[in-house]
Every structure is written in structure tokens, then in C-alpha cells.
Structure 1
Amino acid sequence: MQSAIKINLSHLVLQAAQKHADLPALTYKSETVSYAELWRRVCGFASALRELGVQRSDRVAVLLEKRMETVVSIFGTTAAGGVTVPVNPLLRPPQVAYILADCNVRVLVTSHDRLLQLQEHIADHPALEHIVLVDQVSGDIQGLDIRKARLHGWAPSFSQEKETAPSIVAVDYDMAAILYTSGSTGKPKGVVLSHRNMIVGAESVSHYLKNGPEDTILSVLPLSFDAGLSQLTTAFNSGAHVLLMNYLLPGDVIRLCEKHKVTGITGVPPFWIQVAALDWPAETAARLRYFANTGGRMPKATLDRLRSLFPQALPYLMYGLTEAFRSTYLDPSEIDRRPDSIGKAIPNAEILVVRPDGSRCNPGEHGELVHRGPLVSMGYWNDPARTAERFRPVPGSEASWRAPELAVFSGDTVVADEEGFLFFVGRRDEMIKTSGYRVSPTEIEEVAYATGLTKDAVALGVEDGALGQRIVLVASPIASSLDVSALLTAFRRTLPQYMVPSQVVEMSAIPTNPNGKFDRVLLREQLGS
């Protein structure tokens, strides 16, 4: 085998294969593969990509639910020198097509049914050359009309196993992945992560979670999320076993935890609220070593219930930015004193709280959270304006002899106490955080306008104990009254369920501020949020 120097993201799998060859790496349904076998599959996929002509930094999108082929495609892409673009399978075809076009995806890995839904939206995609269908065999693909791209089945080329990955020229600062998250303009923005970002993140998180080969981690979050992808990287860094789950019913969590002796779970608040309502078998609950929360504040009642359900488990409350992969965690020993805190910086990161002029805030003073260190991502794909706005020199680090070090300015307002523990206050921008997702109000509003039913529309996030925030749409009708039923039907047809407004409030005229913009502050006050 090759050296286990971790330069490429796939080297997390290589290192585990060298140290823990026969230990289980992944389980999906009834299939389990060892680390040695997973590495051979990654190498085989990487070789097949190279045979298609994939070059360094070419983008390869993966549009799949969680399954073996999804993981092999993600890590096999980086092993070939390409850039993986995991796409949330809940997105609608127009949203997927935008992502594929935005970063000039050259290869798409998906399934036959997903491609059937997508094909009319990508027929004229300028860069897409190859489509790999994980549930098809090459030479036996029918019923599809893709005018420019060449279709390939998973077998035989992409299902082959090889002992080594293709030889590539690489450094750990090369691009490894692009993760798309909603942007303030209504279009998803691609956060570009280097190999170094993701490797350091895996080392840091697995260190404080104390992951090891004895752990079995339940993967419930989408792999298109930084926290979901982190489940794989932290596990592979430590030789842990990952159980892939496409979350549907809360009861399935107990069943899988019982069957596979799960020791660690990371979820978002809505997931934990559902899990906390279940009756857990004592032996299964006692086996859980830790549970971790991200993507929003966990309600205190839910945290208390989980701690009583899992008496042996350490609770980890975490905060992260896609732009920096992971940022803070609260040490479990502090949970009783500071249950509302997001903790302190993870290892190999520094978190600053700064005023608008860049000076440091005093304890108790609200300021913007700024993250510096090797986890700070490379910026937003093909968007220098937004990159320059969010990624700026570290405050107070000016020195004439050195190149500036960039930090990520989160846009989140926090406050630190006298001991340096951080507390989340709110977002400076208008992004809505619901069910662990970041949703752009503009994206919601554009759909409302596209229906032809609304004259004006404003989407807001209203505090919700279960979801973090629920989406409320304030709209004025074009006609005499608003057809709310037709409007919601259009949302359900166009957007994933988590982006569909939970409530539509009709106003004959939406108030504006002195600048002529919709007065979101006043609307929130009127809605009681």
C-alpha cells in the first residue's frame, strides 16, 4: 500500500485500511465492508474516473441517498484528484440543475429514477460529459434522453476493486469538496473546502469526541451537510464503524442502535426532539457513549430528557459553520453549569468575538463570531464578491512582513462570559435556520412570485421549539384575495418539504422602512417572533 501521509481526503480511508484492515468501516442495510475492502473500492472508482479523463480539480457531483456507492463516490473522487460535490437528494430538479451548472460538474453519479426526474433540466448542461448510474450495468441503459452526456452503469468499471489509487500531483491545500448552502441572494452558494480543511476537521472532532475503533456511529444527517460529511471523516480518522441510515421514522433509530450496538449519534434539534419521545430499551440506551447536537440550539427539556434516557452518554453541544466545517463545542463537564453555551473553540481553531471595527469585545459584550485557523475554507465557488465580504484578514493581525491570514466572519452575534465560554445571540443576516437547514428567504420569495398569485412576498423565520425556526410567508395578493391553498401546493411541488412555509399570512400591503425595503423588523414584531 501507499504511504499514509494524509495529503488527500481519501488518505483517511487509506490510513484506516493500513491500521484496521479487517475492522468494519461501513454498514448499509445488510451489507458491511471492512476498511481494506472500502479502500479497494475507492481505488477502483478513482481509476474508473481517470479512465474517463477526469483531471485534477474536475468536479464530480454525487446525487444519491446514503448507500455504499455514495461513500465510495465521494472518497473515490478525491482519490482521483477531483472535487466532490455531494448534492442533497431532497432538492428539486431545478435546484440540482443550478448546482451542476454553477460549478461546471463534469461527472454526475446518481440513480436511474433520479436521472429520469432530472434529465429535462440538464439536457443542455454545458460541462456535463458523463453520468454514472449506480443501479445500472453499462450497456444495458434504456429509456433516457441525455443529449450531451455519456451514460455509464456502475458495473463493471466503477464497481471494480484495486489495491492502489491513481498517482496524482497534489498538496493538501487543493480543493477537495464543494458543499452548497443557501445564499442570501436566493441562489445556493458553494463553499469550497480543501483537503487540509477536512482532514484537520476530522482530526479535531474525533479527538474531542474520543472516537476509536470500538465506536459504531449512526449516520443520520445528509452527507451534503458539513456535519453529515463530518460523521464519515471523523470515523475514518479513528477507525470507527459507520452505520448509514436514510432517516424516515424515529423508531428505526432504536432498531438500528439495538441491532448494531451504536455508541455515538450526532443530530439536529428536530431529530433529538423525536428521539427523546421514544421509549428506549435500557440495554440499548446504556450502550450509547455520546450524543451530539448541531444545527441549532437544543431545547433544555429535550436535553434533560436525553440525559435521563442515556445515563452513560456524554452530551456534546456543538456549533459549526460550513465555511469553517466545525467551530465550537461545549465540554460535557460544563453542561450543568452552562447548558445554553456553544462552548469554546475546537482543537486547532481560535474563535474571536469582535466589534464592527474589528477590535475585540469584552466579556459580556455582544459581537460577531470570527473563526481563524486551518479549518477556514477557501471561499465561495466562483463568487469573489461574497468571498471578500465573508473572508477577511484576522482582526489585529496586521504585520508588514507577512501575507495576511484570512478568517471567516460568521455573521452570527455571540457573547463570551468571563471564562471565555460563548453564547449564541442571533444571526446578523436574514437566513432562516429550520430543522438544521439554512434557508434563504429570497429563495422562498422567488417561488411565491413565480406562482403569479402574489404581488409582494416576505419570508421570515419565527422561533419554534421543535424546528429552531419555522418559515412564515407574508404575502399580498395580486387579485382581491390570496389563494393560499394554490400557493402552498406550488411550494410543495417546487421545494423540499423543509422549505415549505408552515404558515401564510395575507396582508393587503406589506410595510416598508424608510429605505423602501420591506420592514422585516416590524413584521417580526407583528408576528410576535
Structure 2
Amino acid sequence: MGMRTNNTLIKSFMRTLDRDSGRIILGQKRDGIWQDTSRGELYEMMNAGVRILKDKGVGKGDRVAYKGKNSVEWAAWNMSCYALGATWVPMYHNQSKQYCDYIVQDCAPKVVITDNTELDFGNVGVLSTGLVGEKQDAVSGVFEQNNGDELATLVYTSGTTGNPKGVMLTHHNILSNVDSIHHRFRDAPQTTSLNILPWAHIYGLTCELYYNMMYDNCTKISTGKEEFIGECREVRPDVLYIVPKVLDTVKGKLEFFDKPLVDRLIMPRLIRHLFGGNVHTVYMGGAKLDDNTKRFFLHHGLTICEGYGCTETSPMVCVNHQNDPRNTDSVGKILRGVHASVIDGEIHVAGDSVMSGYWNNKEATDAVLVPNNGKTWYKTGDSGTIEDGFVHYKGRISENYKLNNGKFVDVQHVEGAVRKFVNHNVVVFGENQEYNTIISDGEISVQTMETINHELETYLRIKDQLVITPEKMQEFMTPKMSIKRKPLIQHALTLTK
């Protein structure tokens, strides 16, 4: 790692409080009405949380777990946790009880804070999210004198195979990434975003919540996926932080109108109207944006700043600027303070934002953190190339395979061809088979399949189709709307027996 620092997330927040306590930094709907929250108001809620957590015996080094939707309360409890020197363990509001039970058992938190107090986590106490909104006695002098190398958060990976792993990120890991992002976008004006990404995911946590809090931007919190587009027109955000699934879905709904006259005159205005009328930049992460979707929106004037990163790198490794540096064929130029190289086709990352390891899992840690030339490198498991400092992402190494004739299949290439003509969720597989098979949550016509196969080399063509219901497909989606490929393929194989 790089130079050590005494800076922490709570100290950074307190400096912004001194700078401008009245600035509006958060907003959410309550009883159908948008309500704003200033830094000073968040600080008062944080103080309430500190009092409650202290009364529950939470201190330096303890874990505090949180299960619930994004909210102003979420942010207040998070800062309360950091003020006491404790470690924040966020869980998605819609994660299964089994999944959450595993996390609670693994990290042994002092308390679990949730908006569903009927949940039972055995001997671990449960607190209601809303308690930080209640009047508490004033607290002073409670902040622990932490340093940046101490653990800030445990972010559990989605665990598409096996149990999830708790990624240990220090205050310095996260703040160094925030600083690197700010250096790339230091010319950006102050903005308002409409939040849809869960803060239990590191992309939303670092790049939207923490970045906006530190740099005087405002984050309005969407009520949910179904309300997001409608609330865009209410909030009229300047920027959006989203994952590819959002643009894929919007593109699918707009393609009906994608005709020559509409394309030239109306589509750019329609897209702008859908997102509220003010959006000048969409920040894209969490997964690779489909090339066809990217071309569609770029063609119609939407500026997309696509980036790449991992939970283990806090997360951003690279990102495209609106103007320069920019290469839309890539996922962005490597950030200042981040080191990346490609070894045997795999992207490796080093720098101050790289995690310290996996919680209670030395074997998994040693498998991905390797020393080389005085740096600790994280083996991402992703395939790619680096050209002139720009990263070209090629997909997960583990997702590619060989057919039983020894021919290599680049899954991203095949599925990219499919998505030119199909808006359904799809997964292509065929390891050790004679040919490729596609799983889809919607019927693909014979004619469309012929068109797809015409785009592919002969040995890559798809011969079988397995159709499952959209409801069944949802069972194999991660909270960031990526598909859990291996479990889905295993399920599909049981259908063919």
C-alpha cells in the first residue's frame, strides 16, 4: 500500500460540516413529498445514532450490520458507526434471510439495524432504522481517534458460487478512491443525482454517496425501481449513477420509436425527457455496458462515462471523462494513484484502494493478493487489455469456455451478438458440449435466431434454446441486476435431463 494517513470518512465528513453545515446533501420522499436534509441535520441524526450505539455497547473495532433500503437514516447510522470507530456491514434490503444470517454469523456484529424489526438474528440485538430520527441527549467528545488504516466497512460480495466473502476496506482505501475520482472529474460542476443504486454495493457507496457528501453535491434517493423514471421528472437530476440494466431496459422500451424521422428529430428529446430534462452525464459501472446499448444512447446525444472496478478495489480502477481522457471503445483510463497491468490475459490492480483482504478467509485472500515489485496486486479474474492507459474489458475469465471440439468461446462476443436483436435476459453456455445453448426469459423466434447465428462464426452458432419465466430469472439475479450465471446454468441443465 501507499503512504499512510490519519484521515477517515468521519473526519472528512466533519470537515465538510465546518465548511458548510447548511448545504443540502440528501433528499428523499416522505408521505409523497420530497424533503431535503442538510449536513447539519444529518449531523444531529448521527449524534442520535452515536448515543444509541454507545448505549448498546458498540465501540472501536465492533461491527454494526445494517439491512434496509437507502435512506437519510442509512447515511446517519453509517456516520454514527464511524464516529465510534466501528465497522459498517451493509446488507441489501431484499437479500434473503439465509444470506443475511450467513453474514451476521460470519462477522459477528454487536447490533443489526433494520427497517424490519421483526427479523430475528439470534443473540444479536436488533435496532429500528427510525430511531435516529427521535430526540436524543446531546453527545460530545465521543469520536474515536481512528486512523485511515483501520477497517471502515465489510462489503460482502454477491457470492454467485459458494458463500459470500466479506471484503475488508479501510478508510484510506475508500478515501483514496474518492480522491482519484475527484482528480478525474475535478472540472465538474456541483450536481444533483437521483439515487437508484443500493449503498450496500460499493459502486453506489463510494462513487455516489461518499463522493457527493465530500464534494458538495446533492443525492436525492429514489423510492424504488418502479418509481425511478417518474421521479427523474420530479427531481430533474443533472447526473445519474446507474448500472447497465437500467439503460438496457430503457432502450428496450424506446426501440419501438426508433425510426428514421423519430431517430433524428424526436429520440434525443424523448431520452432527455425520460431522465428529467437536465441530465448531462450518466456514470456507468457495476458491469460492462452492452456495446449496442452504448451506441444507441451515444448516437442520441447522451454522455456516458463508463468505468470499471471491483469491490476489492473500492471500487474504481478506470473511468472515461466526458471529454478528455475519453475512449468510448474502452471502460476508461486508469485513475491517478491506481496501477493496473495485464498478466497472462488477466487484469491485475495495485494501489491504495486495494482491499486488505477477505474477512476470516486467509485462503481466499492469499489466492487473489500477490506481492510483486514492492506492491500488492489484486488478481481481478477479469480478462482485458490496456492500450495507452485505457482499459478494454473482455469479460470474466471464468465465464469463457471450450466446446468439446476444443474451440474457445468468448461469451461476451456471443451474447453481444444476441443482444443486438433480443431485449430479454440471456445467458449462453456450452462448456464441453458440441454447440452453444441459450437460456432466455422470453421466446426467441426462429427467424431472430437465424439472424443472430448469421452474425456468428459457424462453430459459435446457437442450436438450442431454453426458455424460463421472467419470475424464475429473477431468482438468479444479484441485487445489482447481474445474472448469477453458474447457478442459472446448473438449473437449466436439470431441465434438459
Q: TM-score range by the shorter chain?
A: 0.7 to 0.9
**Contact 2:317/2:335 (8 A) holds in 1:** yes
Q: Per-residue CA shift, 1:402-437, capped at 9, x if unaligned?
A: xx53121111111123x23221122233599xxxxx
**Does residue 324 of structure 1 match 2:286?**
no
SS in 2 for 1:191: strand
Distance 1:39 1:388 in 2: 39
Q: 2:8 is aligned with what amino acid?
A: N
Query: Offset at 1:43?
Result: 2.8
Query: Which runs of structure 2 are paired with 1:498-517 in the superposition (5 Å)?
Result: 501=488, 504-506=492-494
Tell me the TM-score normalised to structure 1 length. Answer: 0.70
**Does residue 221 of structure 1 match 2:200?**
no
SS in 2 for 1:504: helix
> 1:171–1:315: structure 2 CA closer, same or farther, 3 Å change rule?
same
**Which of residues 68, 71, 89 in structure 2 aligns to 1:67?**
71
SS in 1 for 2:93: coil
SS in 2 for 1:429: helix
Query: Which runs of structure 2 are paired with 1:48-59 in the superposition (5 Å)?
Result: 48-59=52-63
**Which of residues 282, 295, 299 in structure 1 aligns to 2:286?**
295
Query: Offset at 1:232?
Result: 0.4
Q: Per-residue CA shift, 1:140-196, capped at 9, x if unaligned?
A: xxxxxxxxxxxxx5564xx53857561313111000000001347510000010001
Match in the other structure for 1:38: 42
Query: Which runs of structure 2 are paired with 1:124-523 in the superposition (5 Å)?
Result: 125=123, 128=124, 130-135=125-130, 156=134, 160=136, 162=138, 166-183=142-159, 186-210=162-186, 214-230=190-206, 231-249=208-226, 252-276=227-251, 277=253, 279-280=270-271, 282=273, 287-309=278-300, 311=301, 314-325=303-314, 326-333=316-323, 338-355=327-344, 367-393=345-371, 395=372, 397=373, 404-417=374-387, 419-429=388-398, 463=415, 465=419, 470=427, 492=475, 501=488, 504-506=492-494
Match in the other structure for 2:445: none
Alignment RMSD: 3.5
Q: Per-residue CA shift, 1:213-270, capped at 9, x if unaligned?
A: 7310221111111101121011012011011124322xx3343333223111111111
Q: Per-residue CA shift, 1:372-391, capped at 9, x if unaligned?
A: 11101111001011101111
SS in 1 for 2:154: strand
**Contact 1:43/1:166 (8 A) holds in 2:** no
> 1:411–1:373: structure 2 CA closer, same or farther, 3 Å change rule?
same
Q: 1:108 is aligned with what amino acid?
A: V
> 1:471–1:508: structure 2 CA closer, same or farther, 3 Å change rule?
closer
Match in the other structure for 2:19: 19
Q: 1:264 is aligned with what amino acid?
A: V
**Contact 1:13/1:38 (8 A) holds in 2:** no
SS in 2 for 1:333: coil
Tell me the TM-score normalised to structure 2 length. Answer: 0.74
**Does residue 10 of structure 1 match 2:10?**
yes
Structure 2's unaligned 5+ residue stretches are 255-269, 402-410, 432-466
Match in the other structure for 1:525: none
Q: 2:127 is aligned with what amino acid?
A: V
How many positions carry a matched residue from both structures?
415
Distance 1:32 1:92 in 2: 31
Q: 2:129 is aligned with what amino acid?
A: V
Q: 1:55 is aligned with what amino acid?
A: G
Q: 1:376 is aligned with what amino acid?
A: V
Query: Offset at 1:501?
Result: 3.9
Distance 2:395 2:478 in 1: 26
Q: Per-residue CA shift, 1:267-311, capped at 9, x if unaligned?
A: 1111112234453455966522311111222223322333355x4
SS in 1 for 2:323: helix
Q: 1:424 is aligned with what amino acid?
A: Y
Distance 2:496 2:229 in 1: 49
Distance 2:377 2:210 in 1: 23
**Contact 1:44/1:165 (8 A) holds in 2:** no
Query: Offset at 1:86?
Result: 0.6
Q: 1:426 is aligned with what amino acid?
A: G
Distance 1:467 1:375 in 2: 36
SS in 2 for 1:262: coil
Distance 1:334 1:345 in 2: 12
> 1:164–1:31: structure 2 CA closer, same or farther, 3 Å change rule?
farther
Query: Offset at 1:468?
Result: 7.9
**Contact 1:92/1:495 (8 A) holds in 2:** no
Q: 1:237 is aligned with what amino acid?
A: M
> 1:213–1:28: structure 2 CA closer, same or farther, 3 Å change rule?
farther
**Contact 2:6/2:146 (8 A) holds in 1:** no
Distance 2:95 2:286 in 1: 19
Query: Offset at 1:349?
Result: 0.8
> 1:165–1:88: structure 2 CA closer, same or farther, 3 Å change rule?
farther
Distance 1:339 1:213 in 2: 22
Query: Offset at 1:53?
Result: 1.4
SS in 1 for 2:22: coil
**Contact 1:349/1:375 (8 A) holds in 2:** yes
**Contact 1:472/1:501 (8 A) holds in 2:** no
Query: Offset at 1:200?
Result: 1.4
Query: Offset at 1:470?
Result: 3.8
Distance 2:468 2:425 in 1: 25
Q: Per-residue CA shift, 1:53-104, capped at 9, x if unaligned?
A: 1111111011001111111112221111110001011211011110011111
Q: 2:178 is aligned with what amino acid?
A: A
Q: Per-residue CA shift, 1:298-329, capped at 9, x if unaligned?
A: 223322333355x4x64211001100011111
Distance 1:235 1:490 in 2: 34
Decide which structure has greater helix share.
2
SS in 1 for 2:492: strand
**Contact 2:26/2:220 (8 A) holds in 1:** yes
**Contact 1:40/1:161 (8 A) holds in 2:** no
Q: 1:407 is aligned with what amino acid?
A: W
Query: Offset at 1:201?
Result: 1.4
> 1:260–1:16: structure 2 CA closer, same or farther, 3 Å change rule?
farther
Q: 1:245 is aligned with what amino acid?
A: S
